[in-house]
Amino acid sequence: MKLLRKLLFPFAILYGGITALRNYAYNKGWLESRTYKIPIICVGNLSTGGTGKSPMIQYLASFLMDEYKVAVLSRGYKRKTKGYREVSLNSSAWEVGDEPLQMKQNFPESIVAVCADRREGIEKLQKRADIILLDDAFQHRKVKASTTILLTSFPDLYIEDYMLPTGNLREFRSGADRADIIVVTKCPEGVAYAKLQEIQFRMDLKPHQKIYFSRIGYDDSIYGKAEIQSLDYLRNKPFTLVTGIANPKPLVDFLTRKQFVFTHEKFPDHHDFSDATIEKLKKKEIVLTTEKDYMRLQPKLEKFALYYLPIKTVILNEQEEFFVETIFDAIDKHRYN
């Protein structure tokens, strides 16, 4: 692996140089970064792979919807359609993407739309919503969000990563300077406060930035098409865990700690399950999956004993109240300005 990193390093420098030049053009105003009157909260990351963007979007929506009409705009990764499209409860994952469909089903009152051109999407949504949440748009410099939240996962901090293809970074680490809020996600349960302080020190935050730490929280119940069961329903019932997410390790570790007996079928992120895989899964007695994967599996697998385990974002160190206050303050500041 070290040898491969060295071999790919020149390409990483080239790729980083191209992205840095693009960012410089936006910073200088040579390329237009459009602002909007409506508050726009962008959630994104510097790296490829899962940092918990969808759980963060859902977490934001969970408390913002009490005060505002919320719209969520995503590109709809791996959908088979193009252009602007609004998500309905009857949409399919292939039409709109698995994560937007998940968002709509969890928050039916919200407006959820997909559009690769974020400007077009914002212009269609801004008259119908009080706030727009932009999913995975940190590198979408054509739009200047009023508040930017940068996520980085505890096991794969951007300060320890390298540019593609040597590492996983989409742009140089200095891109983090654009963020208003940095959230270190997927912190292990019981992580020492001193370790979090060390990470915060190494982040070298700018004066305008705030940092928070979070972990993945799991529901006490599993959900299927026709029923809800306690998680303990799986106790002493061997089942198959199916994941098509970037990093299933936290979920595997959680189920292992709970001493469940299961086999794990692991697939790439946003995997399009083949007919052969579906036929194989139909022979399993019980299948447990993630909520995102359920959006793609359920229409194909039509299996009663198919369940998903929801996850949520949990802010650590009793900082949740301060995090929520930070978001509302940023909204109020934008509206005042």
Q: Which residue has the tokens 């096991």?
A: 155
**Pairing state of beta strands 262-266 and 306-309?**
unpaired
Alpha helices in the chain, H assignment, sequence order:
2-27, 53-64, 93-96, 98-106, 118-125, 193-203, 249-257, 275-282, 291-301, 320-336
Predicted confidence (pLDDT) at residue 3 exceeds the cutoff of 80:
no
pLDDT in tens, 31-54: 999 999 999 999 999 998 789 999
> What's the whole-number mean pLDDT along residues 187-193?
92
First to last CA, the chain: 50
Beta bridge pairs of residue 314: 215
Q: How far apart are CA 312 and CA 301, in angstroms?
A: 25
Q: Which residue has the tokens 């909204």?
A: 331
Distance of CA 135 to the CA centre of its chain: 7
Percentage of the chain modeled with pLDDT above 90: 82
Q: How far apart are CA 297 and CA 289, in angstroms?
A: 9
Domain 2-216+315-336 in this protein, CATH class: alpha beta
> What's the whole-number mean pLDDT along residues 84-103?
95
What are the domain boundaries of the chain? 2-216+315-336, 220-309
Q: How far apart are CA 55 and CA 159, in angstroms?
A: 22
Predicted confidence (pLDDT) at residue 327 exceeds the cutoff of 90:
yes
The pLDDT assigned to 6 comes to 65
The pLDDT assigned to 305 comes to 86
Global pTM reads 0.93
The pLDDT assigned to 304 comes to 66
The CATH number of 220-309 is which of 3.40.50, 3.40.190, 3.30.70, 3.30.310? 3.40.50
Predicted confidence (pLDDT) at residue 1 exceeds the cutoff of 60:
no
| Tokens standing for residue 2 | 């070290």
Distance of CA 114 to the CA centre of its chain: 15
Task: Evaluate whether 2-216+315-336 and 220-309 have a shared fold.
Answer: yes
For residue 265, count CB atoms less than 10 angstroms from its CB and return exposed for 0-12, middle for 13-18, buried for 19 or more.
Answer: middle
The pLDDT assigned to 2 comes to 59
The pLDDT assigned to 7 comes to 74
Predicted confidence (pLDDT) at residue 248 exceeds the cutoff of 60:
yes
The pLDDT assigned to 67 comes to 95
Q: How far apart are CA 150 and CA 136, in angstroms?
A: 10
The pLDDT assigned to 49 comes to 75
- DSSP state letters, 4-40: HHHHHHHHHHHHHHHHHHHHHHHHTTSS--B--SS-E
Q: How far apart are CA 322 and CA 325, in angstroms?
A: 5
Give buried/exposed letters for 6-15 (b at 16+ CB in 10 A, else e): eebeeebeeb
